[in-house]
Amino acid sequence: MIRVALAGERGKTGGAVAAFLRAAEDVDYVGGFGSDTDAGDFLAQHGPQVLVDFTQGPAARPLALAAVAAGAAPVVGSTGMSAEDVDAIEAACGQAGLGGVVAPNFSVGAVVMMWLAEKAAPYFDSVEIIEAHAATKLDKPSGTALATAKRLGGDPPIHSLRLPGIVADQEVVFGLAGQTLTIAHRTTSREAYGPGVLLAIKKVFQERRFYRGMDSILGLD
């Protein structure tokens, strides 16, 4: 059993992931906390081996570093992190001999969608990205859309929608003379993040390796 804690449990995504972890047979879910809790005290009291983080970007780096200092591998799903933030977390994990992962999206379908889009890109003249999220999502474009654009190269246009009734959708639309190709991923509930998070927890705990994204964890590299 892997002892796992969750930062951001009170958020919509965090709450769904917490429910998934509670039901997982090979996880001992030791609890979650929000922004009004001292992370260091919580980690010292509960002793998790992995800390899953679904908070907002500015809190992610200090939380991950606090986790490493407490001997817990960070599994970070927060968006809005800089390359410097990720570098700092990776360096801390390496010094502590811990695994970790920072990923823009833990949905298996979304990760495969980005991988397929990257494979398709060389065969088309143009590409644009359409991403849609709930109206409450603060960042625009989404971290997934930015990660997709980076993988495609050439700074493709990104169109962002923020509307009630949507969880998280993305389309990558390619164009060539007389034809288009659309690679799309639809999220019907926030349960979609659970399987990827659980797989990441097992990988970073067992292999003590740092991952930038889910591709290597899914064997797509």
> Taking the complete model, does pTM exceed 0.75, yes or no?
yes
Mean pLDDT (whole number) for 60-64:
94
The pLDDT of residue 1 is above 90:
yes
Does residue 137 carry a catalytic annotation?
yes
Q: pLDDT band for position 70 (50/70/90)?
A: very high
The pLDDT of residue 214 is above 80:
yes
Torsion over CA: 133, 138, 143, 148 (sign): positive
Q: In the prediction, which pLDDT does 84 show?
A: 95
The pLDDT of residue 198 is above 90:
yes
Which of 133, 159, 185, 202 is labelled catalytic?
A: 133
Mean pLDDT (whole number) for 119-144:
94
Residues 6 or more apart whose CB falls under 8 angstroms from that of 82 comprise none
Name which of 76, 71, 77, 70 is nearest 98 in CA terms.
Answer: 71
Q: Dig out the tokens for 60 from the structure.
A: 């992610």
Does residue 150 carry a catalytic annotation?
no
The pLDDT of residue 2 is above 90:
yes
Residue 124: helix, strand or coil by DSSP? Answer: coil
Please tell me the number of Cα atoms within 13 Å of 126 on its side-chain side: 9
Mean pLDDT over the full length of the chain: 95
The pLDDT of residue 55 is above 80:
yes
The percentage of residues in the chain with a pLDDT greater than 70, rounded to a whole number, is 100
CA distances from 137 to 34, 118, 120, 164, 202 (A): 18, 26, 29, 10, 28
Q: In the prediction, which pLDDT does 12 show?
A: 87
Which of 137, 150, 185, 203 is labelled catalytic?
A: 137
Residue type, 116: L
